[in-house]
Amino acid sequence: MKKSVKVLALVMVALMLCMSFASCAKKLSGEYVNDATIAGSGIVTTYEFSGNKVTLTVETKALGVVVEEGTASREGTYSIGEDKITFEFEGDDTVAKEYSKTLDFEEGEDYIKIGIVKFDKKDK
């Protein structure tokens, strides 16, 4: 009987540790935008975070108008480690493959930095 109590206690401790580590995972919320347009032309990249889900939208603009051929939107998941962020986007296309990777990560009060690119938090 004592052995089963010890085993049960160990299982409960292991379960509590797993739950505490899972709940400590860093999560983002909201939209973050990098607008790399000059005089209305260029690329606008937006990450929208909710739970562990992320939606990436990349728009190519010419003279302030979105050029349809350059617009891409993909859904996926993300996870944040100590100073890295890992994205996994759905699909076999070039966009999904290009953006599914691990990059350096930094978070400020109203911005995040992914790799060397700064994304400002969008007010709603």
Output the pTM of the full model. 0.73
Listing DSSP states for the chain in one string gives -HHHHHHHHHHHHHHHHHHHHHHT-----EEEEEEEEETTEEEEEEEEEETTEEEEEEEEEETTEEEEEEEEEEEEEEEE-SSEEEEEE-SSSHHHHHH-SEEEEEE-SSEEEETTEEEEEPP-
pLDDT tens for the chain, residues 1 to 124: 577 766 566 656 666 655 545 545 689 999 999 998 888 888 899 999 999 999 999 888 888 777 755 567 899 999 999 899 999 998 888 878 888 999 999 999 999 999 999 999 998 6
pLDDT for res 90: 86
**For the chain, which residues make up each domain, given as ranges?**
30-121
The fold for domain 30-121 equals Lipocalin (2.40.128)
